[in-house]
Structure 1
Amino acid sequence: MFWFRALTDAERLFVHRFFADSLGALEPRLRLGLRRIGDTHRALSMNGGRISMPRACFEQCRPTQPLRLGHPAVAGVFAHELLHQWQRLQGYRVTREAAWLQLKSACLRSDPYAYERCSEAAPMLERFLSAQVEQQGQMWQDYVSGCVAGHADPAFAGVAAHVAGGEPDA
């Protein structure tokens, strides 16, 4: 059975916490489901606001239940997939670019998620703006995971403002 459900109130609050209104155009169509094909231990963001998450990310491992957003790893993965939805709203061709990156990764044994961290907000924002879609997703995942764990990295302040729509491009 393939189905997607609307976000719960807690999941919508999470979206607003980290994206403000920058996903507003898509928010009514955001849907969450269980990853059932391919690598079912990984999340997947599809066109049209559909996000598939692994079973372990849901309370009681049931997709009818809310995501375990108090867990930093789950929150980070959900944020990563939400960022891919945000990227689509910005005009990125996420599916095409990510598929190419995954193929390249398999052939060349490279990590499409790897990026070089820095300790200051301005250089981190520059890296985010010049990064490919999976690097941006990983940066956002690291930021959100840190926030949920209680130790937000101030180096991501510019990235957070940019994603939320509060700061123009560098």
Structure 2
Amino acid sequence: MNKLIDKLGSLQGIVTVLTGTVAAYISLVAIGNITDFDSNQAFVHHVLEMDTTFNDPDVMWRAIESDTLQDIGYIGIIAFETLTALVCIWGTVLLIKAFKSGAWGHARKVSSLGILMMLFLFGFGFIAVGGEYFSMWQSDTWNGLSAAIRNFTLGAIPLILLQLPNKAWDDD
């Protein structure tokens, strides 16, 4: 029992659990978007169409009104979520294996990449592009900024921990 506590209480244990949490979360997001396609499709359509924003003519030129382009964007988001989930799962598996092998370097890189992908999706995709470029912040109905910031934070914490110097990281 003490060995388990020592492992889980170490930086490596914490990072492994948090990376696994991110992997599970982004997997459920991707699965939810695949199995309940219509729910978030409406969200993406409204954000890209900018139909619930202030309708300021100075920014409405940015709106994408084509259903086909909106669907391509949504399918792209789902594909990126799925790829992110797979990389995060792979990173988690490598981190778990590193407890025996000591090969933390590769496990950290793969895990960092997966989590960076999540930060890119929610930070760049939803906060910057959706929130600012498509003025999602103006919508009372279709504003996903709170969720995007929550998701960004969920990924940022383990990524910071993955980048901390630690003697055990250097043993491989």
TM-score by length of 2: 0.23
Structure with more of its chain in strand, by fraction: 1
| CA radius of gyration, larger in | 2
Structure with more of its chain in helix, by fraction: 2
Q: Greater relative contact order (Cα 8 A, min sep 6): structure 1 or 2?
A: 2
